[in-house]
A = this chain, B = another copy of it.
Amino acid sequence: MTKKEKQQGITVKKFDDFGEWYTQVIQKAELIEYTDVSGCIVFRPYSYAIWEKLQANIDKLIKNRGVQNAYFPLFIPEKLLVKESEHVEGFSPEVAWVTHAGNTKLTERLAIRPTSETIMYDSYKKWIRSHRDLPLKINQWCSVVRWEFKHPIPFLRTREFLWQEGHTAFATKKEADEEAMDILVNVYNSTLKDMLALPTIIGTKSEKEKFAGAEYSLSAELFLPNNKAIQGCTSHHLSQNFSKPFNLQFIDENEKKQFVYQNSWGFSTRTIGIAIMVHSDDKGLVLPPKIAPIQAVIIPILFDKTKNAVLKEAKKVVQSLKGISVHLDDREEYRPGWKYNEWELKGVPLRVEFGPKDMEKKQAMIVRRDTGEKIVVKLKDINKKVNELLEKIQDNLYTKAKKFLNSSIDKADNKKDFLTKLKAGKLVLAPFCNTVDCEDILKDATGGAKSINTPFDKKELKNTKCVFCNKPAKELYYFAKSY
């Protein structure tokens, strides 16, 4: 490897300096650009294309469920934001405020949406009259702003990020409960698994960690290679917590006035950062094929005499690959070795090397990004083989991540064991009282550990005392150091 090629790649190892490694990967793979606005990043075309794939998948799944897209204002008048007391308490410390327009001071300052419950439900009250108007299921794709004062981490924690927010209203609590679970399991968790190759812990958040204003929050949680947990996405049941202050009432089938039951649920660009952290390696980005903007890159090996013939055949190889996105890298100013490094850095799942000898033998050399495995394939079989390999890579990335997740999980029945295992970077399942007070103290005592969630597939509660405060335990919860 030449000095120039070394500079081209990632200069630190993933497990030597995780933070620096991540920063290099996302910049050198051209996923993001930092800006002069602190905590705000540019989603460059290469990461935005990933987001478009996630959008397409989720958009289809929710439209199949009768959800309609709409767009609500970016601005939320302060008087709306404060209508639900827990909600405003949760969000106001992070709200960006517009106070002036041109040279004019506004009479009421406007919040930039940190989430849109309040501005949306103010309209919902005009649209919901009768049980025939229900369920009402609306989604918007937009950006939201939460002015975090912690150190920003691109994708994971930025002051502006992209997401979808679904906001639904039902006549009955039962329908709302069912939808909250359906979205979490069959829309979000399936997207995390099928698209991003990410295994999760799914369950219900603690009282402390639930959404500000929710009755309960369901979540899909991830565990990262630096032994920190991170919330992937959430589906909240709001019960009548918003419908009462916003007066969302309908006439039911018995001509009685009732308040609606509501859910809200969101999936954001954060998940892209999680997938990068989980799958990528010392050579750079590793992308699951389902989200890769380029799934296979063809690199022709060009010599003066055979250049034209090889290029011509290489173009035929591109044509023969069906249903996948292929890029032919026919730049002549770079050597093949330089190109190999570049496309490895950019995480393209398959590299197809094709030179004059391959042309003679009617074959190509395929190299897997995830394992480095080299496979010689006859050109007549290449379409089938490439499609098979892409599926294998998708599966392999999931399986590897699942193995790591499983190996990170541990249990604790007593405080000493609990604290030792948390300190060792484990994801610890332990009985918990689920009170905000206890979790506040726990967080301080552990230097930032949080409850993750209580899994849906309940395990029998053997120890009936909270692992931390010794008061009666409610459920088993996962705990870990966390973003």
Mask of A68-86 contacts with B, CB within 8 angstroms, 1/0: 1111111111011000000
For residue A292, give the distance in angstroms from its CB to the closest CB of chain B.
15
Bound-complex Cα distance A96 to B143 (A) = 17
CB atoms of B45 and A70 under 8 A apart = yes
Interface size, chain A (Cβ < 8 Å)? 57
Closest to A158 in B: B73
For residue A196, give the distance in angstroms from its CB to the closest CB of chain B.
19
Partner-binding segment picked from A35-43, A219-227, A283-291: A35-43
- The interface residues of chain B lying within 8 Å CB-to-CB of A102 are 92-95, 147, 149
Most B-side CB within 10 Å, residue of A41, A43, A73, A132:
A73
CB atoms of B122 and A36 under 8 A apart = yes
Contact of A70 among B42, B73, B138 (CB under 8 A): B42
Closest to A93 in B: B102
CB atoms of B119 and A74 under 8 A apart = no
Contact of A101 among B33, B36, B147, B333 (CB under 8 A): B147
- The interface residues of chain B lying within 8 Å CB-to-CB of A33 are 123, 126-127
Contact of A48 among B70, B76, B93, B126 (CB under 8 A): B70
Bound-complex Cα distance A43 to B35 (A) = 30
Mask of A215-241 contacts with B, CB within 8 angstroms, 1/0: 000000000000000000000000000
Closest to A73 in B: B40
CB atoms of A69 and B42 under 8 A apart = no
When A35-B73, A100-B96, A122-B36 are in contact, do A68 and B80 touch as well, CB less than 8 Å?
no
Is A437 an interface residue when CB atoms closer than 8 A count as contact? no
Is A12 an interface residue when CB atoms closer than 8 A count as contact? no
When A35-B123, A70-B43, A93-B102 are in contact, do A333 and B132 touch as well, CB less than 8 Å?
yes
When A33-B126, A147-B102 are in contact, do A73 and B119 touch as well, CB less than 8 Å?
no
For residue A384, give the distance in angstroms from its CB to the closest CB of chain B.
28
> What is the interface of chain A mostly: helix, strand, loop, or mixed?
mixed
- The interface residues of chain B lying within 8 Å CB-to-CB of A112 are 74, 98, 112
Most B-side CB within 10 Å, residue of A71, A93, A138, A160:
A71
- The interface residues of chain B lying within 8 Å CB-to-CB of A160 are 73-75
Bound-complex Cα distance A35 to B79 (A) = 13
Bound-complex Cα distance A234 to B332 (A) = 38
Mask of A38-71 contacts with B, CB within 8 angstroms, 1/0: 0011111100110110000000000000001111
- The interface residues of chain B lying within 8 Å CB-to-CB of A92 are 102
Q: How many copies does the complex hold?
A: 2
Is A246 an interface residue when CB atoms closer than 8 A count as contact? no
Closest to A59 in B: B52
CB atoms of B45 and A68 under 8 A apart = yes
Contact of A74 among B72, B94, B138, B143 (CB under 8 A): B143
- The interface residues of chain B lying within 8 Å CB-to-CB of A95 are 101-102
Bound-complex Cα distance A110 to B98 (A) = 9
Is A469 an interface residue when CB atoms closer than 8 A count as contact? no
For residue A209, give the distance in angstroms from its CB to the closest CB of chain B.
20
Contact of A77 among B36, B70, B72, B145 (CB under 8 A): B36
Bound-complex Cα distance A48 to B63 (A) = 13
CB atoms of B162 and A71 under 8 A apart = yes
CB atoms of A97 and B94 under 8 A apart = no
Mask of A290-312 contacts with B, CB within 8 angstroms, 1/0: 00000000000000000000000
- The interface residues of chain B lying within 8 Å CB-to-CB of A80 are 36
Contact of A75 among B40, B44, B45, B149 (CB under 8 A): B40
- The interface residues of chain B lying within 8 Å CB-to-CB of A435 are none
Bound-complex Cα distance A42 to B71 (A) = 6
Closest to A126 in B: B33
Is A11 an interface residue when CB atoms closer than 8 A count as contact? no
- The interface residues of chain B lying within 8 Å CB-to-CB of A333 are 132
Q: A43-B70, A45-B70, A51-B71 are in contact. List 4 more A-B contacts (CB 8 A).
A: A33-B126, A97-B98, A97-B99, A97-B101
Please name 17 pairs of A and B residues whose Cβ atoms are closer than 8 Å in the assembled complex, sorted by A: A33-B123, A33-B126, A35-B73, A37-B75, A37-B76, A48-B70, A52-B69, A74-B112, A74-B145, A95-B101, A95-B102, A96-B100, A96-B110, A97-B98, A97-B99, A98-B112, A101-B147
Q: Residues of A at under 8 Å CB distance from B? A: 33, 35-37, 40-45, 48-49, 51-52, 68-77, 79-80, 92-104, 109-110, 112, 119, 122-123, 126-127, 132, 138, 142-143, 145, 147, 149, 160, 162, 333
